[in-house]
Amino acid sequence: MNARVGVYVCECGNNISDQVDIAALVPMLEGAPGVVKVMSHRLLCSKEGQEFLAEEVRKEGLTHLVVAACSPRQHLPTFMEVCKRGGLNPYLMQMANIREQCAWVTSDRHEATEKAARMIRAAIARVVRQAPLPEREVEANPDVIIIGGGLSGTVTASMLAGPERRVHVVDRNPALAVALTSLKGVETHGGCEVEAVRGFFGNFEVELASKGSRQEVRVGAMVVCTGSRAMTLQEMGYPGSEAPHVVVLPQDPESLRPYLDALPSGQPKVMFVHCAGRERVGYCSGVCCLRSFKAMRWMAETAPNAQLSCLHQDICVPGRDGEREYQGILGIGARMTWGRLTALAQQGPQVTVSFRREDGSIGQDAADLVILVPATVPNHGARALIDIIGVEAGPAGFVEEAHPMLEPVSTSVKGIYVAGSASGPRDGRATSLLSLAAAAQIAAELRPGKTLRLEAQTSQVCEALCTGCRNCMTVCTYGAIEYDLVAQTCRVNETICRGCGNCVAACPSEAISVKGATYQQILQEIKEAVR
Amino acid sequence: MGEMFQPRIVGFLCNWCSYAGADLAGANRLNVPSSITPIKVMCSSRLDPTLVLTALLRGADGVLVAGCHPGDCHYGEGNYYARRRLYLLKEVLAALGLEEDRLSLEWISASEGKRFADVASDFDRRIRELGPNPIRKRGQT
């Protein structure tokens, strides 16, 4: 079948026509191989423009379409829809970005027109070598596995579990909270760890192991809710921290009671030391000042005769309640000192605390009880889990979000989400918010009974050319290429492939190509670009 | 040379960072030399060195490859592969009688419109200094 290419040049109001001489451009494109019609239009993305274009596709019996307009980043989906309305496979349309990358960056009108012609001819040469691609979909399992049964795991599970969606919660701790075990539609796996993960968004197979037994769970998505923990004295590494009257602030201040009971009578001195371990981890955890102040207030009520002091660096108490807590601490007469902890030493019944002041000088103080307010670090086992499931981690070992603002609960692996303090130190409020966000995103992206749309422009291996060297498998980030032991060739799992094309460049036999960006297509574009 | 040398430069831009950066240069109405014709690839790692070589053998006076900054690749580490392959290719260019400066690999993020315009202008100037592709000059395209 002969190609019938239609080329439509959008003036974009005056955005393009101000710099590109449309009247001169149109004849430059006529006669290009396969082109049956070249036309300009005031505004192709307008409702009227879209209808016009869809009608042109039908009326002219176009086999391929070139839209010379704005960036595909702006209107590719728009014009793909237009193709569908006109009865054309949307992949048989190519956009030439003559607005952002031509009209708007070229001051000379003649040069802009010449460049636009080159770009459009390249688009024509590329699109005529394009095969129609099917829109691919895959059945998806709506079930979800949540790793970690703490606050974030519980909130996420309670939002997602329902008659149409089963939720599995795995925790290495054998005893899971009643809040979880009593939830309908939730299956808990206490005392279990994730051993291996296979598959992809919509169809994961997760292998769980507990003492002596193994089981496999099939789910569509995973949520990492492994949380965080306090840094230990050993990890902080302050000299003298093994002193008996030095303790790390526990999650619940009530656990401090035995230490209070052991305090001498009279007016014992209790010192809270903030930012313990901060320099070693390299970040401010942001949640500890407030926790410390709440513990100090508890202590002022529980042991009213204790003299409270606080060795601190920056006071970090953002949010609605932070300032009130801070003022409350000043109100109960806690003595505030600026300093960075350098060393501790038990001297008789008291602990000597050495610290560096802002001006670099060394200060000392003594207390009957020193409470170190610890940095927050990723939970035990998080590192191993991150390696098993293959998500990216930041330098501190927390799971890295796909984007801190736009995708705060997605990870580098599609279908694996992160919630709560697995991605960084969080207070309870932020933990809940992120967990709700993860649940909402999964509810929107993995709907029971709905299929998932897959990347259409994937790689494919020509078995006749493949020598089975497996170079492609080495470079593929997604593990999308499998080796067929019988045929001794490689094969792309198109459900996983994201179409980057790295394997194409790695293949020494030219056996792999990416649909939509074949060697021929790019070569033709190059030819037009250098013409 | 009778008339002024007008270089032909192929700019391979990765879809996620550099192409978006080039769009931003447009949105900010910065000046980008018209000698550069952009070709969008999904990832800089798609660039088989033979494609770059083909561009030069077909007469391109320069080839600019732009990808995401190290660590920012949309596909994880594609740009590292691109870097390895293209540095190796540079070694080969001399054997073909081509100056290695005719190939440039740059990192440009989606927010670096200004950087894209600067990189493009610098590269255009360098290519003008180098003069036409010797292969083209010899009429072997």
Out of A101, A475, A527, name the one closest to residue B23 (CB). A101
Kindly determine whether residue B59 and residue A100, on different chains, have CB atoms separated by under 8 Å: no
Which of A279, A274, A269, A308 shows the shortest CA–CA distance to A291? A274
Q: Which helix (H) or strand (E) holds B129?
A: helix B113-130
Q: What band does B50 get if pLDDT is binned at 50, 70 and 90?
A: very high
Cβ neighbours of B32 in A, within 8 Å: 101, 105-106
Kindly determine whether residue A101 and residue B26, on different chains, have CB atoms separated by under 8 Å: yes
Kindly determine whether residue B34 and residue A108, on different chains, have CB atoms separated by under 8 Å: yes
Q: Is the dihedral of CA B50, A119, B42, A66 positive or negative?
A: negative
Tell which of A376, A393, A427 closes a domain. Answer: A376
With CA atoms as reference, the chain B residue closest to A120 would be B37
Q: Are A435 and A225 in contact (CB under 8 A)?
A: yes
CA distance A351 to A247: 11
Instruction: Calculate how close chain B gets to A266, using CA atoms only, in Å.
Output: 58
Q: Please report, for residues A56, B43, B135, the alpha-carbon distance to residue A151 in angstroms, rounded to integers and kept in the order given.
A: 57, 39, 67
Range of the domain at A65: 5-133
Q: Give the tokens for residue A522.
A: 């790019």
Tell whether A520 is covered by a domain. Answer: no
CATH classification at residue A356: 3.50.50.60
Cβ neighbours of A95 in B, within 8 Å: none
Q: Among the listed ranges A56-70, A391-405, B23-37, B108-122, which one has the minimum average pLDDT value?
A: A391-405
Q: Decide if B19 touches A, using CB distance below 8 A.
A: yes
Asked if residue A210 and residue A262 are part of one domain, the reply reads no
Helix ranges (H only) for A263-360 are: 278-281, 288-302, 322-331
Residues 6+ apart with CB under 8 A from B22: A100, A101, B11, B13, B32, B38, B66, B108, B113, B116
Cβ neighbours of B44 in A, within 8 Å: none
Provide the pLDDT for residue B138.
59
Instruction: Calculate how close chain A gets to B112, using CA atoms only, in Å.
Output: 14
Instruction: Calculate how close chain A gets to B56, using CA atoms only, in Å.
Output: 9
Provide the pLDDT for residue A218.
96
Q: How many domains does chain A have?
A: 4
Q: Please report, for residues A355, A427, B124, the alpha-carbon distance to residue A369 in angstroms, rounded to integers and kept in the order given.
A: 16, 26, 69
Kindly determine whether residue A501 and residue B42, on different chains, have CB atoms separated by under 8 Å: yes
Asked if residue A75 and residue A30 are part of one domain, the reply reads yes
Provide the pLDDT for residue A93.
97
Q: Is the pTM of this model over 0.90?
A: no
List the single best residue of B10, B17, B37 to mutate versus A (max A Cβ within 10 A): B37
CATH classification at residue A467: 3.30.70.20
Q: Is the dihedral of CA B94, B96, B99, B103 positive or negative?
A: negative
Out of B23, B58, B77, name the one closest to residue A477 (CB). B77
With CA atoms as reference, the chain A residue closest to B42 would be A500
* R_g (Cα) of chain B, nearest Å: 15
Asked if residue A182 and residue A80 are part of one domain, the reply reads no
Q: Are B87 and B49 in contact (CB under 8 A)?
A: no
Q: Is the dihedral of CA B113, B117, B122, B124 positive or negative?
A: positive
Phi-psi region of B45 (alpha: psi -120 to 50; beta: other; left: phi over 0): alpha
Q: How many residues does chain B have?
A: 141
A235-281 per-position pLDDT tens digit: 999 999 999 999 999 999 999 999 999 999 999 999 999 999 999 99
List the single best residue of B17, B35, B43 to mutate versus A (max A Cβ within 10 A): B43
Out of B8, B46, B48, name the one closest to residue A500 (CB). B46
Range of the domain at B82: 26-136
Asked if residue A203 and residue A220 are part of one domain, the reply reads yes
Phi-psi region of A272 (alpha: psi -120 to 50; beta: other; left: phi over 0): beta
Tell whether B3 is covered by a domain. Answer: no
Tell whether A527 is covered by a domain. Answer: no
List B13's β-bridge partners, or say none: B40, B66
Cβ neighbours of A103 in B, within 8 Å: 26
Which of A50, A41, A52, A46 shows the shortest CA–CA distance to A16? A41
Asked if residue A39 and residue A67 are part of one domain, the reply reads yes
CA distance A137 to A133: 12
List A356's β-bridge partners, or say none: A340, A362
Q: What band does B94 get if pLDDT is binned at 50, 70 and 90?
A: confident
Cβ neighbours of A499 in B, within 8 Å: 42
With CA atoms as reference, the chain B residue closest to A515 would be B42
Instruction: Calculate how close chain A gets to B52, using CA atoms only, in Å.
Output: 9
Tell whether B141 is covered by a domain. Answer: no
CA A396 from chain center: how many Å? Answer: 16
Asked if residue A362 and residue A239 are part of one domain, the reply reads yes
Tell which of A85, A108, A133 closes a domain. Answer: A133
HSE-CB for B89 with a 13 A CA cutoff? 24
Q: How many domains does chain B have?
A: 1
Q: Give the tokens for residue A333.
A: 């007469």
Asked if residue A430 and residue A465 are part of one domain, the reply reads no
A186-200 as b/e: b if 16+ CB within 10 A = bbbbbbbbbeebebb
Tell which of A319, A349, A376 closes a domain. Answer: A376
Q: Are A494 and B28 in contact (CB under 8 A)?
A: no
Kindly determine whether residue A501 and residue B58, on different chains, have CB atoms separated by under 8 Å: no
Q: Decide if B58 touches A, using CB distance below 8 A.
A: yes
Asked if residue A121 and residue A18 are part of one domain, the reply reads yes
Kindly determine whether residue B25 and residue A105, on different chains, have CB atoms separated by under 8 Å: yes
Which of A97, A41, A53 shows the shortest CA–CA distance to A73? A97
Out of B8, B31, B46, name the one closest to residue A107 (CB). B31
Q: Is the dihedral of CA A505, A511, A515, A519 positive or negative?
A: positive
Tell whether B40 is covered by a domain. Answer: yes
List A362's β-bridge partners, or say none: A356
With CA atoms as reference, the chain B residue closest to A526 would be B55
List A410's β-bridge partners, or say none: A417
Tell whether A524 is covered by a domain. Answer: no
Asked if residue A113 and residue A12 are part of one domain, the reply reads yes
Cβ neighbours of A455 in B, within 8 Å: none
A452-465 per-position pLDDT tens digit: 888 889 999 999 99
| Strand pairing class (B62-67; A307-312) | unpaired
The C-alpha angle with vertex A172 and arms to A169 and A176, in degrees rounded to 5, equals: 55
Kindly determine whether residue B41 and residue A501, on different chains, have CB atoms separated by under 8 Å: yes
Provide the pLDDT for residue B141.
46
Kindly determine whether residue A529 and residue B19, on different chains, have CB atoms separated by under 8 Å: no
Provide the pLDDT for residue A2.
86
Q: Give the tokens for residue A28.
A: 């430059």
List A417's β-bridge partners, or say none: A223, A410
Tell whether B1 is covered by a domain. Answer: no
Asked if residue A89 and residue A15 are part of one domain, the reply reads yes
Question: DSSP of A26-75, one letter per residue?
Answer: HHHHTTSTTEEEEEEES-TTSHHHHHHHHHHHHHHT-SEEEEEES-HHHH
Instruction: Calculate how close chain B gets to A490, using CA atoms only, in Å.
Output: 18
Tell whether B47 is covered by a domain. Answer: yes
Q: Which stretches in chain A have pLDDT values below 50?
A: none
CATH classification at residue A55: 3.40.50
Tell whether B103 is covered by a domain. Answer: yes
Provide the pLDDT for residue A137.
85
Cβ neighbours of B23 in A, within 8 Å: 71, 73, 97, 100-101
Question: DSSP of A176-231, one letter per residue?
Answer: --HHHHTSTTEEEEET-EEEEEEEETTEEEEEEEETTEEEEEEESEEEE---EEEP
Tell whether A526 is covered by a domain. Answer: no
Asked if residue A21 and residue A125 are part of one domain, the reply reads yes
Q: Judging by beta carbons within 10 Å of its beta carbon (0-12, 13-18, 19+), is residue A409 exposed, middle or buried? A: buried
Tell whether B95 is covered by a domain. Answer: yes
Q: Which helix (H) or strand (E) holds A457?
A: none
The C-alpha angle with vertex A141 and arms to A138 and A145, in degrees rounded to 5, equals: 135
Provide the pLDDT for residue A495.
82
Provide the pLDDT for residue B3.
65
Tell whether B120 is covered by a domain. Answer: yes
3-state secondary structure of A25: helix
CA distance A96 to A60: 20
SS (H, E, C) A405-416: CCECCECCCCCE
Asked if residue A271 and residue A334 are part of one domain, the reply reads yes
Running DSSP on this structure, what letter comes out for residue A101? Answer: I
Helix ranges (H only) for A351-391 are: 382-389
Q: What band does B1 get if pLDDT is binned at 50, 70 and 90?
A: very low
Phi-psi region of A198 (alpha: psi -120 to 50; beta: other; left: phi over 0): beta
